[in-house]
Amino acid sequence: MPIESNFPNINLQVVDLFNFLFNRKDRKFSDDQVIFQSGDNLSRQYTYKQLKQSATDFGKGLRSNFDLKKGDVVGVYAPNDVDTPGVVLGALWTGAIVSPANPGYTQAELVYQLKDSGAKVLVTHLSVLDVAKKAAREVGIDEKRIILLGEEKDPSNKTKHWSSIRVLSGTDRYRIPRINPKEDLAFLVYSSGTTGRPKGVRLTHHNMTANIQQIIGAEAWLTHDGSVSCPGIPDAPKGKGDKILACLPFFHIYGLNVLVLNPIYTGVQTLVLQRFDLEKWCQLVQDFQITYSYIVPPIVLLLCKHPIVEKYDLSSLRMTNSGAAPLTKDLVESLFKRKGVRVKQGYGLSETSPTIFIQRWQDWESAVGTTGWMVPNLLAKFCAVPNEGEEHDGTKELPRGEVGELYVKGPNVFTGYHNNPTATAECLEDGWFRTGDVGFLDKAGNLTITDRVKELIKYKGFQVPPAELEGYLANHELIDDVCVVGVDSQELGTEVPRAYIVRKGGLKAVKDSDAKEIIQWLNGKVANHKKLRGGVKFIDAVPKSVSGKILRRILKEQAKKEFREEEDAKLNKARPKL
């Protein structure tokens, strides 16, 4: 039997995102509420009213300048900025689909996403304009269809700023198109797969609005005015309410939902950092009395161990939420002991918009190691994990409490992968999404993730597909065969990619310089998060099944032992001799 959430189901609104956020009748905060403020330049901010007007004007500008129509794709290739919400909502106003891309992408990686998504307009930032122009040229996007967001404009005046697109839109003849929330796409986000290139995840307007409502249904403690109290947790300042510090990337579904869309709905003021900087983060928490921040395990590790944290008062933080990878009990306890900062956990995937499990605030200490309860209006089941090389079977359902592969079904589950029916069929059947993660529910309803059927590596929350790296490495002149696995780095507090390589000529041909040369070669071809931080190891042969599939788990176990020994040796070497 499918498992239901411990939270009561809610009556979900079915409406497009723009109207859901800007034309609601139950809004409890004023037009003048500041929603977004730049943590890098405090003079840059948007009230709710300004944001709605900016988005509407930009949407009309896109329509009048570029004849953008419902269903067209707008690419966004930029670091975090307070302009991003207006740009995203403006594109949605036209009925367009927004496809955010990692600003760390190389030209080739951006070209792939622009081409696969069919983007007709590209919004970017001055810091990555050169790469954006080259990629756009390669896929046939006219340079006139590249738009800048952010504080800085193009010194050459060749690329229009989004503010000028808004000014040119002075017309009333354009109207927001009719949207079918359950059918029409709002976002096309790219999630790295285990079989090669990233896949476009098709998320409808209802997927996103449903997940916003599910998150609020599971934790209603963040408010614009401090009017709600959570048992055992300090209250937000009455009248002033909560303040969120946004340091996670907006191009990622996690940041896109909880840091771009959610604050517009709740009215909670959000300070935006272009990129995470530990001291800047601590300074803003202290100076602006930040009450909440979404973080990832490497940030938790820094807060626990970095000496600079001692300089700052972080006591205003009521709670933090960590996603992307599990936290240990030691880390959670260490952070609270050191700075009095509470951290809870959640779990989600791009394909689920993303949040499907949330740890309750009051359980942050008692349910450490779990990702909490399933969000409202969602069903789950656990199925027998297939042996390596076997096909998965979603009909072999296990009793509650047993370890199995997690499947979920609900209004936030995506509609499929873009232009990839084969990949869609492998993980989506009758509305049930196969997550690829293995775990169990305890008696209280908390989910514990124990393993990953999928082969994805997660570096600081960013997905690294082994097959993509293997594809590059296989083309290197020194390499006959290769397998990439993830290893947990104690030093970095995250999973890192490690390559097992069969060298041309065998082990006897390996030179001391080979590993370094291969790593440097690959570094020039991939984004920063895909680099081989776990190193290179040369082997006789890559273990494979009779059918030729890589038996990745064998090397993963070997890598786990080897890498731990390597890190321990490195640590011992660094210790001063007594």
| Per-residue pLDDT tens over the stretch 234-266 | 999 988 999 999 999 999 999 999 999 999 999
Confidence label for 546 from pLDDT (cuts 50, 70 and 90): low
Asked if the structure places residue 524 within a domain, the reply is yes
Computed over every residue of the chain, the mean pLDDT equals 92
Confirm whether 521 is domain-assigned. Answer: yes
- DSSP summary character for residue 260: I
In terms of Cα–Cα distance, which of 322, 327, 447 is closest to 381? 447
**Spatial separation of the C-alpha atoms in residues 76 and 120, rounded to whole Å:** 11
* Token pair listed for 413: 């589950």
What total of structural domains would you count in the chain?
1
Tokens 């104690």 sit at which residue?
Answer: 490
- Is 441 a member of any domain? no
Give the separation between CA 141 and CA 157, rounded to whole angstroms. Answer: 18
Where is mean pLDDT largest: 236-240, 316-320, 476-480, 524-528?
A: 316-320
Distances (CA, A) of 67 to 61, 205, 295, 426: 9, 22, 39, 37
Rounded Cα gap, residues 35 and 270, in angstroms: 6
Q: What is the percentage of the chain residues whose pLDDT exceeds 90?
A: 78
**Is 61 within a domain?**
no
Sorting pLDDT into bands at 50, 70 and 90, what band is 169? Answer: very low
325 has a pLDDT exceeding 90: no
Domain that holds residue 487: 458-570
CA distance linking residue 534 with residue 522, whole number of Å: 13
Q: Is 137 helix (H, G, I), strand (E, B) or coil?
A: helix
Q: Which residues contact 511 (CB under 8 A, 6 or more apart)?
A: none
pLDDT at 575: 62
pLDDT at residue 185 above 80?
yes
Cα–Cα dist 147/169, whole Å: 14
In a domain, 420, yes or no: no
pTM here is: 0.86
Digit-coded pLDDT (tens) for 468-504:
898 889 889 999 889 999 999 988 889 999 999 999 9
d(CA 205, CA 184): 7
Return the closest-CA partner of residue 355 out of 221, 202, 253: 253
Residue 471 has a pLDDT of 81
Stretch among 4-18, 114-128, 167-181, 345-359 having the lowest mean pLDDT: 167-181
426 compared with 452, residue with greater pLDDT: 426
Q: Is residue 551 part of a domain?
A: yes
Burial of 171 (0-12, 13-18, 19+ CB in 10 A): exposed
Could you report the per-residue pLDDT of 504-513, keeping only the tens digit for each?
999 999 999 9
pLDDT band, residue 390 (cuts 50/70/90): low
Whether 223 maps to a domain, the answer reads no
Do 238 and 226 form a contact (C-beta atoms < 8 A)?
Answer: yes
pLDDT of residue 44 exceeding 90 = yes
Query: In angstroms, how far is CA 132 from the centroid of its own chain?
Result: 21
Alpha-carbon dihedral 146, 152, 157, 159, rounded to 10 degrees: 0
Q: Quick check: 171 pLDDT over 60? A: no
- Average the pLDDT over 87-116 and give the result: 97
pLDDT at 272 exceeding the cut of 50:
yes
Give the CATH number for residue 503.
3.30.300.30
Residue 480 lies in a domain: yes
